[in-house]
Amino acid sequence: MPFPQAFRRGSMKAAFLTGIRQLQILDTPEPELTTPEDVLLRIDTVGVCGSDVHYYTAGRIGSQVVKFPERVGHECAGTVVEVGSAATGLRVGQRVVVDPLIACGQCDQCHSGRRHTCRRQRFLGNPGEAPGGLAELLMMPAESCYPVPDHISQVQAALVEPLSIALYAQRLSSMRPGAEIAVLGSGPIGLCVLLACRAAGAGATYVTDLVDERLEVARRCGATWAGNPQTTDVVAAIAQLRPLGLDCVFECAGEQQTLDQAVEILKPGGQMLIVGIPELDRVSLGIHTLRRKEIQLVNVRRQNHCTAPAIEMISSGTVNVDPLVTHHFSIAQAKEAFDLVAGYRDGVVKAIIHVSGSHGQCSF
């Protein structure tokens, strides 16, 4: 069903990375449905993610290099405005969360249920893959859109993607109820990991970050202990509290220092989950401690099959993501939002960009 023609203007506004630390809101053609399985969304909210900011400040993540100009953004919540003839389960006016990964559905990885490592995947806002979602309108396959219940706001809905990654990390871990865990790096993903682990019955939870305001949010999210490595020897402090070591450490900072700390604070047989995205291309690990302790290393690549359960966790009140949302911006202020997140300023955890309202009137 098409949305009112008056809504169409031919062009829309979208955020483009145009150089290192350069972001502009530019006019670009409105997307059209390309297959009957597609839907068109009016984007309401977009969360600013650490990976977006990597592209903004460094122009690359590892071998994924931005060719400017490139659209950006992937943590989107929107409202369906047009439904392809074969797009099942969605109707005009429905609010949805976007799973930003479009899988091919044909490769060995897709066939074995690993859509997240699909060999021909396209991820929103990834260089050369799919256009970023920080835009007034976005065309997506219907299967990538998950309806959200009425009592979840579009701001909460924008937190579903990071929460899904955290939930996936928790599910990949071997933690049992009562497990003692650490989360090193308490940005949005680290804090979501804390929430997911507490929901799964973690016992004591130890959280670190370089930004004191983030530790304060971690405490509000239920952390047993939170420390800043700039002012506290976090390895010694955790060792004093838990001399036998921890069961699982979720490395969510992507820093050499946090990888080293993880090896130190784990107990023999413990597990390190590598969730953070390093700016470095190579990291090192203290192989002898790693070996003697027989530490298990688990890499976490985004998420798989965790979007619907993440919606359910927010919907049921199992987790409260509200303390993570610290700042709000309009799409015109997107550069301000990116600069804030890039500079870790003003206690920012999750900055939300409100997009809808800027693209004419929409009446269903």
Q: Give the residues lining the site for Zn ion (CB under 5 A).
A: 49, 75, 103-104, 107, 110, 118
Residue closer to Zn ion by CB (options 107, 297) is 107
The least distance separating Zn ion from the CB of residue 50, rounded to whole angstroms, comes to: 7
Residue closer to Zn ion by CB (options 76, 217) is 76
The least distance separating Zn ion from the CB of residue 268, rounded to whole angstroms, comes to: 34
> Bridge-partner residues for 238, per DSSP?
none
Q: Measured between alpha carbons, how far is 86 from 350 in angstroms, rounded to an integer?
A: 35
Q: Which residues of 50-87 are buried (b: 16+ CB within 10 A; e: fewer)?
A: bbbbbbbbebebeeeebeebbbbbbbbbbbbbbbbeeb
Residue closer to Zn ion by CB (options 154, 261) is 154
Residue closer to Zn ion by CB (options 81, 275) is 275
The least distance separating Zn ion from the CB of residue 281, rounded to whole angstroms, comes to: 21
The least distance separating Zn ion from the CB of residue 122, rounded to whole angstroms, comes to: 10
Cβ-contact 163, 313 below 8 angstroms:
yes
The least distance separating Zn ion from the CB of residue 234, rounded to whole angstroms, comes to: 26
β-strand pairing of 75-83 with 95-98: antiparallel
The least distance separating Zn ion from the CB of residue 316, rounded to whole angstroms, comes to: 23
The gap between the terminal CA atoms of the chain, to the nearest Å, is 11
β-strand pairing of 11-19 with 22-29: antiparallel
Residue closer to Zn ion by CB (options 106, 174) is 106
Residue closer to Zn ion by CB (options 118, 311) is 118
Q: Measured between alpha carbons, how far is 219 from 206 in angstroms, rounded to an integer?
A: 10
The least distance separating Zn ion from the CB of residue 228, rounded to whole angstroms, comes to: 24
For the chain, give percent helix, strand, coil, nearest 5.
30, 30, 40
Q: Measured between alpha carbons, how far is 166 from 204 in angstroms, rounded to an integer?
A: 18
Residue closer to Zn ion by CB (options 162, 227) is 162
Pick from 306, 307, 310: which is nearest to 318 by CA?
310
